[in-house]
Amino acid sequence: MRLDGKVAIITGGASGIGRTTVHKFVREGAKVLVADIDRARAEQVVAEVEQAGFPGAAAATGVDVSVFADVEAMVAKAVEVFGAVHVIFNNAGIAGGVPLLEHDPETDYERIVRVDQNGVYYGIVAAGRQMARQGTGGVIISTSSVYGEQAAELSFTYSAAKAAVISFTRSAAYELAEHGIRAVAITPGRVATPIINQFSDELKATFAAEQLRGKLTEPEEIADVVAFLASDESRVINGTVVSVDDGYSVFKQRLELPVF
């Protein structure tokens, strides 16, 4: 089990990629603090872990990642329950957007920045401080997006926040290396999470066609990569962006080839 002996915090751990990664980490031997703004749903994930045959491997806490005091309390909770923090997966995020000229700055800019940008910054600082105090090193993994590297529809603020996550990762890797702490970002493409699954079959088919396999990525496929990045097997991956987009960023769309 590649994560045996590790203690991890997973934000946004009650659904989607976060929930799936909780289960993956536990199967790989980690102890996991499931952190989510919806405490009740986080508790449900802990119950799932126990029903799967891993009693005591997970605990739940409520957190609003846009509030630094909440994030500090989350890190303290992991230490209280499991004794240390070796990994944090800054995964909590929100989506949504309207055309730029129709923005309400509070709703369409500040709200998204608070969660998707500030929340990652707070996680890096709070967990990084704990890892440095422990003297055991650690891994900070943060969810960016393909939108963090390119422009896209209705994503002015979301793209900016996800680009900041990439910058945070590079700078954190540079500054925290002396403490044995690695920082890595992932950039998912079209993943079959509740955010995407709420759309029509037609729109989901369009999303699927944007990736090279012609299908949506499953959350489990992202979790597999995150578990690898959290493990010592990825010890030389640091300060980089790992694309988990099934080729989304390497082509526009498939076209019928002309006959010459």
158 is catalytic: yes
pLDDT, one tens digit for every residue, the chain (260 residues): 999 999 999 999 999 999 999 999 999 999 999 999 999 999 999 999 999 999 999 999 999 999 999 999 999 999 999 999 999 999 999 998 899 999 999 999 999 999 999 999 999 999 999 999 999 999 999 999 999 999 988 999 999 999 999 999 999 999 999 999 999 999 999 999 888 888 899 989 989 999 999 999 999 999 999 999 999 999 999 999 999 999 999 987 777 777 77
The CA distance from 136 to 6, in Å, is 11
Structure token pair of residue 212: 């090279």
Q: What is the pTM of this model?
A: 0.96
Judging by DSSP bridges, how do beta strands 87-90 and 7-11 pair with one another?
A: parallel
Give the Cα separation of 82 and 102 in Å (integer). Answer: 46
Do the Cβ atoms of 25 and 32 come closer than 8 Å? yes
> pLDDT (tens digit, 9 = 90+) per residue, 106-140?
999 999 999 999 999 999 999 999 999 999 999 99
Q: Alpha-carbon torsion 152, 158, 163, 165, what sign?
A: negative
- Residue 157, classed as helix, strand or coil, is helix
The candidate with the shortest Cα–Cα distance to 33, out of 71, 78, 87, is 78
Q: What is the distance between the alpha carbons of residues 107 and 96, in angstroms, rounded to a whole number? A: 10
Q: Of these residues, 121, 158, 174, 248, which one is catalytic?
A: 158
Q: Quick one: pLDDT at residue 255? A: 74
Q: How far apart are CA 71 and CA 83, in angstroms?
A: 17
Record: fold of 7-244 = Rossmann fold (3.40.50)
Q: Which residue has the tokens 């994560």?
A: 3
